[in-house]
């Protein structure tokens, strides 16, 4: 990992945006990779790399409103948002059916034993768990965590489950965050290119310490350009620039040289 922490790279970026349809070749216009980190940083600030990382503005697929772990759409509605009785689904457990139809108004995280993954993959169940995790005692969080850790990759790539994983990066213990990092590091490349997985990586990079960040970004070696060309991976590279110690990011600049 020492190979990544060299030089005095100093890059500041704004919010994340997807790359334009023109792709990497058209987007590199104006960037000078031969002038060192300072020149690269200056070019980035002046917008020369806009085609690579998009316009660093507010129209952002993963802005604070859309990538937040505070529930789908950036909000955490009350768990009893299902106002009408739904037709039972053969794929749902009795517990989830009762919850969705407000037949279990006093349900707690402890009641979800053996059903945490199922609830996490359900729109209303995921929101309920997210809401409760914000103020849950550590014992209740651990009950939930034990079950999601076993299905971490599945939940990281799930439309609703990824928000539960993100919530643990916000409200989990240092030990829980480290356990998730160990799960993440073996799948960084595939998750970076996946619609929901890339959000989990971004949240992780914002929430973990430098040593843990190094473990994750090391997995991007040799795949930076592939990520930049991808509408999901692009966000991950930008988040590295935003959140990781600049001296550890020389490998990103090196990836662009000669392009």
What does the pLDDT look like over 133-187, one tens digit per residue? 999 999 999 999 999 999 999 999 999 999 999 999 999 999 999 999 999 999 9
Supply 188's token pair.
């960084």
Are residues 167 and 83 both part of a single domain?
Answer: yes
Residues 79 and 60 in one domain: no
* Residue-number span of the structural domain to which 10 is assigned: 1-66+193-259
Would you say residue 230 lies in a domain?
yes
What pLDDT does 223 receive?
A: 94
Residue 185 lies in a domain: no
Torsion angles phi and psi, residue 88, rounded to 5: -55, 140
Q: Would you say residue 85 has pLDDT above 80?
A: no
> What is the rounded distance in angstroms from the CA atom of residue 27 to the CA atom of residue 221?
21
Look at residue 14 in the predicted model and tell me its pLDDT.
Answer: 37
**What global pTM score does this model have?**
0.71
pLDDT band, very low/low/confident/very high, at 87 (cuts 50, 70, 90): low
Tell me what pLDDT residue 256 has.
Answer: 87
pLDDT for the residue 88: 64
Q: Are residues 146 and 77 in the same domain?
A: yes
The pLDDT > 90 percentage for the chain reads: 63
Last residue of a domain, one of 172, 207, 237: 172
Question: What average pLDDT score do residues 88-92 get?
Answer: 78
- Is the same domain home to 52 and 74? no
pLDDT at position 27: 42
Q: Any idea what DSSP says for residue 3?
A: G
| Residue at which a domain ends, from 172, 204, 235 | 172
Answer whether residue 133 is part of any domain: yes
Q: Which residues contact 3 (CB under 8 A, 6 or more apart)?
A: 251
Terminal Cα distance for the chain, rounded: 24
Query: What are the structure tokens assigned to 26, written together?
Result: 């058209």
Instruction: Name which of 62, 56, 66, 126 is nearest 96 in CA terms.
Output: 126
Residues 87 and 164 in one domain: yes
The count of residues in the chain is: 259
Nearest to 217 by CA among 195, 184, 194: 184
What is the C-alpha separation between 236 and 62, in angstroms, rounded?
A: 11
State how many domains the chain has.
2
Same domain flag for 56 and 96: no
Confidence of residue 60 (pLDDT cuts 50, 70, 90): very low
Q: 47: part of which helix (H) or strand (E)?
A: none
Domain boundary among 137, 172, 207: 172
pLDDT of residue 57: 35
Question: 128 lies in a domain?
Answer: yes
The stretch 75-104 carries a mean pLDDT of 73
Please tell me the predicted confidence (pLDDT) of residue 52.
52
Helix (H) / strand (E) element for 187: namely: none
Q: Higher confidence at residue 5 or residue 205?
A: 205
Residue 89 confidence class, pLDDT cut points 50, 70, 90: confident
With 80 as the cut, is the pLDDT of residue 29 above it?
no
* Distance between CA atoms of residues 204 and 239, nearest Å: 10
| pLDDT of 253 above 60 | yes
At 122, give phi and psi (nearest 5°).
-105, 140
Nearest by Cα to 239 from 252, 256, 222, 258: 252
Say yes or no: 57 and 93 in one domain.
Answer: no
Q: What integer pLDDT is reported at residue 144 of this predicted model? A: 98
Tell me how far CA of residue 40 lies from CA of 93, 97, 252, in angstroms: 54, 55, 11
Q: Judge whether 180 lies within some domain.
A: no
């Amino acid at each position: 990992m020492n190979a990544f922490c060299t030089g005095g790279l100093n890059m500041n970026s704004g919010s994340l945006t997807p790359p334009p349809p023109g792709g990497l070749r058209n987007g590199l216009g104006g960037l000078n990779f031969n002038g060192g980190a300072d020149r690269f940083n200056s070019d980035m600030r002046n917008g020369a790399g806009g085609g690579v990382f998009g316009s660093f503005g507010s129209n952002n697929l993963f802005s604070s409103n859309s990538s937040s772990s505070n529930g789908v759409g950036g909000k955490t509605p009350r768990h009893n948002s299902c106002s009408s009785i739904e037709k039972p689904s053969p794929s749902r457990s009795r517990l989830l059916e009762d919850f969705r139809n407000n037949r279990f108004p006093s349900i707690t995280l402890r009641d979800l034993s053996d059903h945490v993954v199922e609830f996490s993959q359900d729109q209303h169940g995921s929101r309920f768990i997210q809401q409760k995790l914000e103020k849950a005692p550590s014992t209740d969080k651990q009950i939930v965590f034990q079950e999601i850790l076993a299905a971490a990759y599945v939940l990281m790539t799930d439309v609703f489950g990824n928000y539960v994983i993100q919530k643990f990066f916000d409200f989990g213990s240092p030990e829980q965050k480290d356990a998730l990092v160990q799960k993440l590091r073996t799948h960084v490349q595939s998750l970076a290119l996946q619609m929901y997985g890339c959000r989990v990586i971004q949240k992780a990079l914002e929430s973990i310490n430098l040593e843990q960040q190094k473990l994750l970004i090391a997995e991007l070696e040799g795949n930076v350009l592939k990520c930049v060309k991808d509408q999901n991976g692009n966000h991950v590279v930008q988040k590295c620039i935003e959140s990781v110690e600049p001296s550890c990011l020389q490998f990103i600049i090196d990836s662009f040289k000669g392009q």
